[in-house]
Amino acid sequence: MAYMLFVAEPRGQRAERTEEEGKALYQRMLDYAEDLKSRGVLRAYSSLRNDSEGQRLQIRAGKRSLRDGPFSEAREMIGGFFLVDCATRDEAVELAALCPAAEWATMEVRETGPCYLG
């Protein structure tokens, strides 16, 4: 089964780090991705730019609405993800627990699947 491991980080946290601190944390994340690759469970991964550079799109009643970030109603932003293959959710949670970002962000573990189910 495939699971998404989302990194939900507090908004504004990146701005509190020096460039050197940010690079060191980013390297830890790259090392984590390499570990997942060596285990044979990693399908894909990526970090995401700050939500201040994002946009939100909605279409309601045929009308398109586009909103530029940052999104003030959100306390956290998705800072990246890992798509992994695991036999069980427990295994996915254990992999998420190994992620360095769990020290400064929240790891959200979700199984992939059809959106019409529950």
To the nearest whole percent, how much of the chain has pLDDT over 70? Answer: 99
- Which residue, among 27, 21, 1, has the nearest Cα to 95 in the 3D structure? 1
In the chain, domain spans: 2-49+75-111
For the stretch 94-111, pLDDT in tens is 999 999 999 999 999 999
Residue 74 and residue 51 in contact, taking contact as beta carbons nearer than 8 Å: yes
Residue 74 has pLDDT above 80, yes or no: no
Q: What is the CATH number of domain 2-49+75-111?
A: 3.30.70.1060
Number of residues that this document lists for the chain? 118
Confidence of residue 53 (pLDDT cuts 50, 70, 90): confident
Tell me the β-bridge partners of 93. Answer: none
Mean pLDDT of 77-93: 97
Tell me the β-bridge partners of 68. Answer: 55
Residue 72 has pLDDT above 80, yes or no: no
